[in-house]
């Protein structure tokens, strides 16, 4: 029972291409966790609510132009401005289910041609996730799902490059879930992964992202 824990909360990240189902699955997982009596909160990056986030949002909507490295650093700053809050939530026993994280930061910027090591550097020292769930959907399949919303990166050729960069970021904290399966099947797999992760993370210290 995920609700009977007393240690720290877990940092669980969902990653994947646009239209891979991350946001829907985050919401489903969160309501399941709450139903289990587990203290859990959802979160997403970019957080468009801060002043940095508003600059990012305007850029994504093609309402402003920014240099590639500049916007990369804004995305990172948008995570840094939440680090202290995130740490205190986790240490206080709240699990966080996060829609996109530093992996999106690196995969999307590196897909533009920026050096991948340069892209990783500003996120060194950020909190390392206990679990990264990658919803694996072919770029062509993702594009078929009701199309894209018209934001800057929502183009199939670009998404293919993002998928390649994501692939090179995989490490032992990653679990690859076939995002082309039914919503219910994916949801079931996520419940199990998250429940195990929460139990295993309780007594582990938080560590920093080291790539």
Tell me which of 148, 153, 158, 174 binds ligand 2DT, using CB under 6 A. Answer: 153
Q: Which residues contact 151 (CB under 8 A, 6 or more apart)?
A: 18, 60, 61, 62
Site residues for Mg ion, window 11-70 (CB under 5 A)? 18
To Mg ion, the closest distance from the beta carbon of 34 in angstroms equals 25
Tell me the longest C-alpha to C-alpha distance in the chain: 49
The residue count of the chain comes to 211
To ligand 2DT, the closest distance from the beta carbon of 202 in angstroms equals 27
Site residues for ligand 2DT, window 25-64 (CB under 6 A)? 45-46, 60
To Mg ion, the closest distance from the beta carbon of 151 in angstroms equals 5
- Residues 23 and 15: their CA atoms lie apart, in Å, by 10
Contacted entry of ligand 2DT, Mg ion, none for residue 120, CB cut-off 5 to 8 Å set by kind = none
Q: Which residues contact 127 (CB under 8 A, 6 or more apart)?
A: 11, 83, 86, 87, 90, 206, 207, 208, 209
**Which residues on adjacent β-strands are paired with residue 132?**
13, 174
Give yes or no for residue 179 binding ligand 2DT (CB under 6 A). no
**Which residues contact ligand 2DT by CB under 6 A?**
18, 45-46, 60, 75, 100, 104-105, 108, 153
């Amino acid at each position: 029972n995920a609700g009977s824990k007393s240690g720290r909360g877990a940092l669980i990240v969902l990653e994947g291409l646009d239209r891979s189902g991350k946001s829907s699955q985050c919401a489903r997982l969160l309501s399941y966790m709450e139903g289990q009596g587990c203290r859990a909160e959802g979160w997403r990056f970019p957080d468009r609510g801060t002043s940095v986030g508003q600059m990012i949002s305007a850029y994504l909507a093609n309402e402003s132009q920014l240099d590639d490295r500049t916007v990369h650093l804004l995305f990172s700053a948008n995570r840094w401005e939440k680090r202290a809050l995130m740490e205190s939530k986790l240490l206080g026993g709240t699990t966080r289910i996060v829609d996109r994280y530093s992996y999106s930061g690196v995969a999307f910027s590196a897909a533009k041609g920026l050096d991948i090591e340069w892209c990783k550097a500003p996120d060194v020292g950020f909190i390392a996730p206990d679990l990264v769930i990658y919803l694996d959907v072919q770029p062509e399949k993702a594009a078929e799902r009701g199309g894209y919303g018209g934001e800057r990166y929502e183009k199939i050729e670009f998404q293919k490059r993002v998928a390649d960069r994501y692939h090179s970021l995989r490490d032992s904290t990653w679990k690859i879930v076939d995002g082309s399966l039914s919503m219910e099947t994916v949801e079931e797999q996520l419940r199990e992964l998250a429940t195990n992760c929460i139990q295993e993370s309780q007594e582990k210290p938080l560590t920093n992202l080291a790539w």
